[in-house]
Structure 1
Amino acid sequence: MATLDDVAPGTRSKRKLTGYWLILPGAIWLGLFFVVPFFTLISTSLYDPTGSVETGYSVTWHVQNFADAFSQYKGSLWRSLWYAGVATVLCLVIGYVLAYAIAFKAGRWKNLLLILVIAPFFTSFLLRTLSWKLLLADDGFVVDALQTVHLLGPDDRLLNTPFAVIAGLTYNFLPFMVLPLYASLEKIDVRLIEASSDLYASAAKGFFKVTWPLSLPGVVAGTLLTFIPAAGDFINAELLGSPNERMVGNNIQSLFDIGDYAAAGALSVILMAIIVALVLVWVRTSGTEELV
């Protein structure tokens, strides 16, 4: 049998070049739509804050932009992280139960349930959020039902509250949690779970000793896919919240709209840096460093 040493040097060179040609389209795509925008954002955050759309901007390495942006918008920044964190935890609880049921209990209905999980993606993100606005409206049946059973007072409401924003985030990003969890749970050998039962482990102990550790890669992937876009989201806060529920994404959008590119860029970089730091800490503490 021929080995790698038996292959002619010219043939080996052609194979190496073939690999580079295959990854070239992806590299160009990442360069144009990730690397270039990334450095553009960094340079924007270092603009001279005295510039304007009319007079133009110049990169003056004005690092004070970061301190000013953090000082002015730290409230919405922490609010975004809090809302995203709560929504991620809710997605994890709901999504794990759903993914577990699909992986181990659905039987021949498994494919249908997976289609139902991703079905919301076939409609617009904006349309789904507007639907929540109708559901939680003051004159909607949800508020009427909760007021009827005295879970809400006569003057209480759901819309334009933190509850509405977190509910919208949880609903919109739930599929991002379910799919990685299902992929991880579906790979688990059920004989390992049965073995824990044969060794006299209770159902709860078997879950935390066998199922949960084996599904941890899916948990980490799902939480990252949920938390990162939720922290930067602005649609849910815009449509379901009030000015008191503004998230950092709303402030970034407003700053870009009014032409304050220096502050908008600095705030975007701050958010990105915080998310990257949180992601690294989460991955390291969860024991799945290979995902980084």
Structure 2
Amino acid sequence: MKKVAYPYVLWMVIFILVPLFLVVYFAFTTGDSRNYDTFRFSLDNFRRFLSPIYLEVMTRSLLLSVISTLICFLLGYPIAYIIASKRSAKTRNNMILLFVIPMWMNFLLRTYAWLTILGKNGIINSFLNFLGFESLELLYNNGSVILGMVYNFLPFMVLPIYSVLVKMDGKLIEAAEDLGASKGTIFRRVIFPLSLPGVMTGFTMVFTPAVSTFIISNLLGGNKTTLIGNVIEQQFIYTGDWHFGSTMSIILMGIILLVMAISNKSGGDLEGGRGALW
């Protein structure tokens, strides 16, 4: 190993491997989190997680994450396609820049902004009241949480798809046109299949932060929408049960790793099957 790599290895050991080891250690033990002498090996935390209340929270987290990921795909693919279809590289770069600029703002501030938009006295309800309509309950429900996820994570879907589309060989499209294929057929048989690796990457990049988020659900969901990230936060910060919090973190990590493995496997199969398109 080259000496220049030692600082990076040390960094990984201190800030990745050691914290991960501690999480695993706490997950498989029980006792007073402040007194290591009381720790003992146990699977009670995993059995506790199987209770209906925690399974319901996990199911809700997965459902909202999948819904927000699908919405990001339905919105993000056309956006990426439109940007990638521009002939001028300067135009493409400017459009990507405009799309990414909101990400330069603090994540918490971006989420807080929706409180002023969706609140009872927010912009939308103020406009409805001006028109003579009653205020709507736009905050503190599953819909507002999904909206916050889509707004914050949409760029994570657009950028991978755009990076694949913009690198696509234009000769393939020209060959399809020469063979008499319509625009719809070209998109269905050529463009979309070739862009699937970017789509799979986008799915992973959106689903991963969505399923583990707790700030969005705290601000936009209130006490009515509790996700697994909120429960983990409560166990570490308020309840002080680091063992159960670590157990839920391990389970959530396993789900995320499984999704990433499926995505990587699907992406590899798609890359290997490109030649079968022609």
TM-score between the two structures when normalised by the length of structure 1: 0.84
Cα separation, partners in 2 of 1:119 and 1:58, compared to 1, 3 Å: farther
Between structure 1 and structure 2, the one with the greater Rg is 1
1:252-292 deviation per Cα after TM superposition (whole angstroms, max 9, x unaligned): 0001012111110111111111222233234434554889x
Which segment is superposed worse, 58-67 or 174-183?
A: 58-67
Q: How does 1:144-155 map to 2 (within 5 A)?
A: 144-145=126-127, 154=134
Q: How does 1:238-253 map to 2 (within 5 A)?
A: 238-253=218-233
Q: How does 1:268-287 map to 2 (within 5 A)?
A: 268-285=249-266, 287=268
Is 1:21–2:3 an aligned residue pair?
Answer: yes
Q: What is the CA-CA distance between 1:125 and the residue it aligns to?
A: 0.3
Cα separation, partners in 2 of 1:215 and 1:59, compared to 1, 3 Å: farther
Q: Give % identity.
A: 35
Is 1:125–2:102 an aligned residue pair?
Answer: no
> Are the counterparts in 1 of residues 201 and 263 from structure 2 also a CA contact under 8 Å?
no
> Are the counterparts in 2 of residues 255 and 263 from structure 1 also a CA contact under 8 Å?
yes
1:56-83 deviation per Cα after TM superposition (whole angstroms, max 9, x unaligned): 5654221121120232411111111111
> Are the counterparts in 2 of residues 47 and 58 from structure 1 also a CA contact under 8 Å?
no
Is 1:254–2:205 an aligned residue pair?
Answer: no
TM-score between the two structures when normalised by the length of structure 2: 0.88
SS in 1 for 2:109: helix
Q: What is the CA-CA distance between 1:45 and the residue it aligns to?
A: 0.8
Cα separation, partners in 2 of 1:137 and 1:221, compared to 1, 3 Å: same
Choose from 40, 43, 59 the match for 1:78.
59
Choose from 97, 106, 109 the match for 2:91.
109
Q: Which runs of 5+ in 2 are unaligned?
A: 273-278
Write the distance in 1 (CA, Å) between the matches of 2:151 and 2:12.
30
Write the distance in 1 (CA, Å) between the matches of 2:56 and 2:143.
18
Q: How does 1:1-292 map to 2 (within 5 A)?
A: 17=1, 20-48=2-30, 50-53=31-34, 55-56=35-36, 58-71=38-51, 72-105=53-86, 107=88, 108-145=90-127, 154=134, 156-257=136-237, 258-285=239-266, 287-288=268-269
> Are the counterparts in 1 of residues 160 and 201 from structure 2 also a CA contact under 8 Å?
yes
Write the distance in 2 (CA, Å) between the matches of 1:193 and 1:146.
47
Write the distance in 1 (CA, Å) between the matches of 2:269 and 2:115.
38
